[in-house]
Amino acid sequence: MLGKFFDKVLHEDENEHQKQVGHKEEEKQGWSKTLILVSILVFAIAFSSRMVFLFFFTDPHVVGTDWYGDVYHHWQIALLSKEVGFSHGFLRLWDLKGLEYYWGLMHPLVLILGFIVSGSIDILVPRMVSVIFSSLAISLLFLIITRYFNKKAGFAAAIFASFVPVALFSDTLGMQEPLGLFFLLFGVFLWPRHAFFAGLTWMFAGMVRSEYWLFGAGLTLALILRSRQTHKKVILFLGYILPLVFYMKYMLDYTGNPIYPIYYNFMATVVGDWFIKDGVELSSKVLLIKSVSQVFTIVFVALGVLFLWRRPRGYLYYLVGLANLVFIFFVFGFGSYLFGYPEDGSIFIIDRNWVDRIMAWQWVFIGSIISIVLFYYTLEILKHKHVKAVGLFLSSGIFVSILLASQLSWPSISYHYTKALAPMDGEAASARKIAENYQQEGSIIVPDGRPLLTYDLVVKENIPAQKLVSALYGPFYYAKVDPFENWGDFRLEIIKWLQKEDARLFVLAGSFGLSDSLGQYSKMMEYEKDKLFTLVEEFSGFRIYRVNTNELYKQEF
């Protein structure tokens, strides 16, 4: 039976399948009333499950810190771009941490639209954006698998995606992956009937995350190389290349690097610029994960090449899933990502990386493959009507058992997320202290790597986002020699900067940003104690200094 199964998969040419169905019949089938109603039902199931989890099992206005707290950074980029960046140039993104272009343009734009439509800047806005687009992606998953296989497999895959814990949890955090996956799947759904828009949406996916840029380019290249529909390939290429040229020019203008997100993601996670590697020895457990990941990378690359060569029905969907699997196992196996691997599990708790958003789509894809095998290929192999009915019953039982077994990951997810909620109160208390010392005039120089602090200052303490200035890009950032060797001259640069920003408070604290200037700023405060700066409060690793405006504005330029 296993031999028949693989023979069935690899000998079904997608182009032949399309010819057999016929474009008119496929168009009719694709938009039948029943299919539309079921796709709406699928969206409702996915959306409802996420809304119930968001509002009844979490605090919808709070997301945990640490890895989960990246959503506050995305929120910060979107809000500051809207309030500050756009006034400095066309679609000029803005950040306090220097990473405004690291992920891409699309997610901040969608969040800004969410802020405008909702009239709110609460963290609930990005969380709702993720819920909506993940639910749309699951509807597309149903439609794609239904088109190439059957409704049973499509519906089963959608149910799995709706309720598998890793995806259900991750899709409510407010991150950008659901948006990017929506565009990737939408492109697969649009091909070949709307080739131009398929290319367009794949490039839109590339504007969400750097690896999706590579995935979209790969899908476009795959069709150019392997599709037999020449005119469709030309239209697809135009749909992809037009936004690509705009985006590369946009990145070149603002960053000096036309592939900035790809380059810096590669340097961060593969080369390992963001990880401490010197003197670090990986544990035997992590080394095992690294070795296994290398094997998986090779296997999934080989499968991708095989599927591209043989073009079985639905091969574009397979390529999307395999690309995600190759990416995650490549950075685990051949990159530096495992130098930051959190060995935070136990006998009963799964390590966070395996039940986290970086693995959410991978588990959904595996679930969809299980659904296709159980509800399409298994039933296709069984020819007799009564045997097929028994096969359907057994397939349903196996599917339900697998989905129920996946629910055992909830304790691990809850364990890791609960730990990430612990620091929330401390950052909120720090924001209150800063607000108490702010006299509603001028700006506040804040640490560059604490977006949760930014959120608390803006949303909870009602300090306008325009009043927050990052310490990252102060004069120390641009200094080529030791500023303290000739402090008298460098002091003038500090004064110019403070005057330009109309600074009234200067907050020093530890940072998770790209800057290592905390020590330099601390030394500056010693040099300028009771001159340019006066310490007004110190607490929990924070120091708040008031800028002495009388001293500041003595110097004219």
Q: Which sequence spans correspond to the domains of the chain?
A: 424-552
Q: Tell me which CATH code domain 424-552 carries.
A: 3.40.50
Written in H, E and C, the secondary structure of 124-169 is HHHHHHHHHHHHHHHHHHHHHHHHHCCHHHHHHHHHHHHHCHHHHH
State the Cα angle at 109 between 103 and 110, rounded to 5°: 100
Question: Closest by alpha carbon to 507, among 464, 465, 458, 444?
Answer: 444
Q: Supply the DSSP symbol for 246.
A: H
pLDDT value, residue 33: 85
Question: Closest by alpha carbon to 445, among 372, 296, 545, 317?
Answer: 545
Hey, what's the torsion of the CAs at 362, 171, 164, 321, to 10 degrees?
-20
- What's the CA gap between 81 and 110, in Å, rounded? 12
Strand order of the β-sheet with 542-547 is 468-470, 443-446, 503-508, 542-547, 533-539
- What's the CA gap between 280 and 556, in Å, rounded? 51
Q: What tens digit of pLDDT does each residue of 53-69 get?
A: 999 999 999 998 888 88
For 359-385, what is the mean pLDDT? 95
Question: Closest by alpha carbon to 188, among 129, 241, 238, 141?
Answer: 141
- The answer, yes or no, to whether residue 29 has pLDDT greater than 60, is no
- What's the CA gap between 522 and 79, in Å, rounded? 29
pLDDT value, residue 557: 67
pLDDT value, residue 7: 58
Kindly tell me the burial class for residue 204, based on how many C-beta atoms sit within 10 Å of its own C-beta (0-12, 13-18, 19 or more): buried
Tokens at residue 274, please?
């963001």
More confident position, 354 or 515: 354
CB atoms < 10 A from the CB of 271, how many?
A: 13
pLDDT value, residue 16: 55
Tokens at residue 162, please?
């709706």
List all residues 6 or more positions away from 455 whose beta carbon is below 8 Å from its beta carbon. Answer: 72, 75, 76, 123
Mean residue pLDDT across the chain: 92
List all residues 6 or more positions away from 53 whose beta carbon is below 8 Å from its beta carbon. Answer: 168, 169, 172
Percentage of the chain exceeding pLDDT 90: 79
Q: What tens digit of pLDDT does each residue of 435-484 get?
A: 999 998 999 999 988 999 999 999 999 999 999 999 998 999 988 899 99
More confident position, 415 or 422: 415
Question: Closest by alpha carbon to 16, among 224, 380, 313?
Answer: 313
pLDDT value, residue 25: 44
- What's the CA gap between 174 and 61, in Å, rounded? 11
Output the CA–CA distances (angstroms, integers) from residue 483 to 65, 478, 546, in the order listed: 34, 10, 22
Q: How confident is the model at residue 9 (pLDDT cuts 50, 70, 90)?
A: low
Check if the beta carbon of residue 546 is closer than 8 Å to that of residue 554.
no
- The answer, yes or no, to whether residue 212 has pLDDT greater than 70, is yes
- What's the CA gap between 65 and 84, in Å, rounded? 25
The size of the chain, in residues, is 557
Radius of gyration for the chain, computed over Cα atoms and rounded to the nearest angstrom: 26
17-27 core/surface letters (b: 16 or more CB in 10 A; e: else): bbeeeeeeebe
List all residues 6 or more positions away from 237 whose beta carbon is below 8 Å from its beta carbon. Answer: 199, 220, 224
Cis peptide bond prior to 447, omega within 30° of 0: no
Q: What is the pTM of this model?
A: 0.93
Check if the beta carbon of residue 402 is closer than 8 Å to that of residue 191.
no
Helix (H/G/I), strand (E/B), else coil: 397: helix
Check if the beta carbon of residue 111 is closer than 8 Å to that of residue 74.
yes
Q: What tens digit of pLDDT does each residue of 290-304 get?
A: 999 999 999 999 999
